[in-house]
Structure 1
Amino acid sequence: MESNGQLADIRSVVEGVGAEDDTSVTPLHQIESLCMSCGENGITRLLLTRIPHFREVVLMAFECPHCNERNNEVQFAGQLQPKGCHYQLEVPSGRTEILNRQVVKSDSATIKIPELDFEIPPEAQRGSLSTVEGVIARALDGLQVLQDERKKIDPEKAAAIDQFLEKLRSLLSGDSNFTFVLDDPAGNSYVENPYAPSPDPLLSIRFYERTPEQTAALGFLSEPTAAEEPAPEENNLMSDVVPHGSVGSVAGRRAIAQCNPDEVAAALCRYSAPEEVDTLPTTCGACGVKTVTRFFATKIPYFREVIVMASSCDICGYRSSELKAGGEIPPKGKRITLQVKNLRDLSRDVIKSDSASVKVPELELELTSGTLGGQVTTVEGLITKICESLERIHGFSLGDSSDEWKKKKWTDFKLRLSQLLSLEDEWTLIIDDALAASFVSPATDAIEDDKQLTIEEYERTWEQNEELGLNDMDTTSADTAYQTTN
């Protein structure tokens, strides 16, 4: 019956993580399934819902009326994310409130505590919606369950596990510092940041490209090995297949427009048209099958030469676009400051490289380099993407279980962010790029006549050069070869 305690548990979970959804009209599916504890048939209930500012999930709850076995599980109904995610949370001793941070763990995620050399592999704990404390407590229960049998068979191993369990319990009591690491190649896991949209000094987030091995482990096609490469004749045949038409200026424009939003293609072609579009073989970042990347070089006035790259997969439909700065690495960094005063300023073209940081002093908003990746957009589009990104990673701020001050802080910030686009007050956009690979278009033909746009060059610090890998870069051999040829 749908009025039993298990249904109440599901409803409470859904109401806690999806307060924005009307769960009363969401269909609750019920299927009969085998109980792995007693071998009789139990009931599994499935409910599709959405975690606010995260993504769609399927909540599953099983209950056996014969042995009262019960368990819950979370699986993701959305797409595979373009990149994997790596969360690292520092938990100081005595800060037990940090253990209450909510954690979404997918089936492919690995959890580590380096201080104890402890790792929870993906197969050990299935997808779950829990807290830091809940994840550790669940691991404790899993290690404790067979201790009585171990003591009879291997007392030494059982004693070692008892000592390790005491170390885990000390983490839950706040007696020790430790690091909680959550790594998910699928990009579908999450650790709560209670200070969002401001950065959390204890939480670091990193997104990375999946390796072929990780892609294969997720069940997708990975790049074939050398032994699996097709014959040269097959390669020649494949190179003649152009999914989006012949290579050239017109075809290149069409291909780029297919792979990017219309405003991106229009912003790029506004400055100069590509004379020739080239292709290079690559693999799809989502499914791993062979595809091609189209690219062309062009010059943007008052900026520099850039390389536009776009790819799309005809198998899974994944699309990506990227803009890379061409030419040599500039000797100085660049800081661009724009005073936004009118609607015309919101429509200015913006190129934000993946090495650029973004600041809005009026909101005390700062995005470090690498956040959002490279973007070709407008001022309005950049603020919109920032808002969407914050909503995606913000997590559980609007759930029924959240503190009222957290809800109010996020609501106030969203209101102030929307006020930027409505231009109720003037505001400032600062793009700081150590590689000088970012750009904001001027409103006048001569950039020096644009009084609202300020471009400042500065010397990079040693730390910036170290992060960019410039301190150890040795170009002596290349310079010698260049001088010899001339």
Structure 2
Amino acid sequence: MSMENNGVKPIFRELKADDPEPETTAIESLCMNCAKNGVTRIFLTKIPFYKDIMLMSFECKHCGYQNNEVQNAGKIEEKGVKITLTIASKADLNRQIVKSDYTSVCIPHLDFEIPSQSQKGEVTTVEGIIDRSIAGLEQDQDRRRVEASETAEQIDQFINKLKALKEVEETYTIIFEDVSGNTSVQNPRAPQKDEGCKVHYFKRTTQQNHILGIYEENEDTLLQPINEEEYSLEEIEGEVMTFPTNCPECNSPCQTNMKMTKIPYFKEVVIMATVCDVCGHKTNEVKSGSGIEPQGVKIEITVTGKEDFSRDLLKSETCYMKVPELDLEVGPMTLGGRFSTVEGIISAVRDQLANSTALTGDSVDPEIATKMKNFIDQLDQVLQGKKQVTLVLDDPAGNSYIQSLTDNGTDDRLKITKYERTFEQNDELGLNDMKVENY
């Protein structure tokens, strides 16, 4: 059911020319300039293909003071993110950066760090971050030269080092770490893999959750034992459970259906499906129902035709997907967990690229749009059986699966390799109980 059918509008709505007077919420609030009461107007909207935001506008009729503010109103990601960006040329200075309030920026080359929550979230570039740092250091230099000349001289020397970074006379790295997971760095080679950027997701600690205002219910109390007699395994597997949630597209209240089922020759999984009656958005997600395996798994399938397209496929929420022939790499957060077929997962990648801002945005880069269209054409050739490729699922949690065409083991086009996880992979899965603290 769409919002045109039932007359209900989403909570977060896109700004459109045919909607000149969207609903706003007016709240009487204190003016910080004259201490009298003014009016704050709040509007919930969304940046297409990015996130939900809250626009707030304050105006005081007594003194004329005005103030505007934008805040992120979208969800906090399930994991934090650490992005290590290598700056090898001046072109890298133009990369767009989306960073939240909780993003720390570190340049190890200069032992320089911008702490988390010291700056507001923004959309900027690498050069913009350096320029803003320079401007902040130069702000009180005139006063320092009078009151503390030696300190001012040291700061001048450091400012010169920051300015030298823009010349890129040598390669250096910038590290972005965001516990909210809402930081991203532009990939100029999209949709191909970004060789100059390394992205690592990590599970937040309890302290980091508290920084974001996330508290688990009864986290400070002893865990209560599960009453195994209350629900049997057969009852859980046979029942479709429903619980309230918010639509990931428009954030309106809706229902999610959840059911546990077993994939033949593999394991139990939890399938969740959400349909929003307001905007019509549909989503399906699959999560493992049996925890993390002792080893990671890497599955490679050579896709040669219709027989391989029909293989069942489970990509878990921790699985990386690659197609080496196309230089394609899809992270675990991009498609989430899915139970589909080989053809279905390739089609999902193709559809997501076709609907990306590189082709549909207001300010489309012609070069990137051309590369994207050529890449989509290659995926179409794969789906038509005209191009042979290798599909790789690399899952540190060991919860991904591709169907074999034989009853005993793997067939000649399917290869399964189990491996020991690295420290970083264990960290991503939240398995590193002991962490090195600063001292």
TM over 0.5: yes
Match of 1:89 among 85, 88, 112: 85
Match of 2:368 among 406, 420, 423: 406
Q: Partner of 1:188: helix, strand, or coil?
A: coil
Q: Partner of 2:86: helix, strand, or coil?
A: strand
Matched, 1:229 2:195: no
Kindly report which structure 2 residues correspond to 1:63-212, keeping only aligned pairs within 5 A, or say none: 75-92=71-88, 95-212=89-206
Q: Which has the higher helix share?
A: 1
- Code of the residue aligned with 1:247 in structure 2: it is S
8 Å Cα contact 2:99-2:121 kept in structure 1:
yes
8 Å Cα contact 2:56-2:69 kept in structure 1:
yes
8 Å Cα contact 1:420-1:427 kept in structure 2:
yes
Q: Partner of 1:221: helix, strand, or coil?
A: coil
User: Structure 1 420/128 Cα, relative in aligned 2: closer, same or farther at 3 Å?
Assistant: same
User: Structure 1 363/144 Cα, relative in aligned 2: closer, same or farther at 3 Å?
Assistant: same
Deviation at 1:218, TM superposition (A): 0.8
Offset from partner CA, 1:191-245 (integer Å, 9 cap, x none): 10010110111111121111111111011215767xx325x8xx36xx4599xx7
Deviation at 1:71, TM superposition (A): 9.5
Deviation at 1:50, TM superposition (A): 4.6
Deviation at 1:340, TM superposition (A): 3.4
Q: Partner of 1:413: helix, strand, or coil?
A: helix
Deviation at 1:416, TM superposition (A): 4.2
8 Å Cα contact 2:353-2:376 kept in structure 1:
no
8 Å Cα contact 2:350-2:379 kept in structure 1:
yes
8 Å Cα contact 1:431-1:438 kept in structure 2:
no
Match of 1:249 among 227, 231, 234: 234
User: Structure 1 131/433 Cα, relative in aligned 2: closer, same or farther at 3 Å?
Assistant: closer
Deviation at 1:185, TM superposition (A): 1.0
- Code of the residue aligned with 1:123 in structure 2: it is Q
Offset from partner CA, 1:97-147 (integer Å, 9 cap, x none): 211111111111111111111111233210111111111111211121112
Whole-Å separation in 1 of the counterparts to 2:182 and 2:409: 47
Matched, 1:455 2:417: no
Give unpaired runs (5+ residues) of structure 2. Answer: 1-13, 245-254, 274-284, 426-439
8 Å Cα contact 1:100-1:131 kept in structure 2:
yes
Offset from partner CA, 1:157-184 (integer Å, 9 cap, x none): 2222111111111112333432111111
Using structure 2 for the length normalisation, give the TM-score: 0.67
Q: Partner of 1:220: helix, strand, or coil?
A: coil
Q: Partner of 1:210: helix, strand, or coil?
A: coil
CA RMSD of aligned residues (A): 5.0
Deviation at 1:55, TM superposition (A): 2.8
Deviation at 1:368, TM superposition (A): 7.2
8 Å Cα contact 1:349-1:441 kept in structure 2:
yes
Q: Partner of 1:124: helix, strand, or coil?
A: coil
Using structure 1 for the length normalisation, give the TM-score: 0.62
Please name the residue that 1:484 is paired with.
none
Whole-Å separation in 2 of the counterparts to 1:183 and 1:387: 30
Give percent identity, aligned residues only: 32
Whole-Å separation in 1 of the counterparts to 2:131 and 2:57: 20
Offset from partner CA, 1:433-456 (integer Å, 9 cap, x none): 59886432256xx548998x7224
- Code of the residue aligned with 2:311 in structure 1: it is R
Larger radius of gyration: 1
8 Å Cα contact 2:98-2:184 kept in structure 1:
yes
Q: Partner of 2:192: helix, strand, or coil?
A: coil
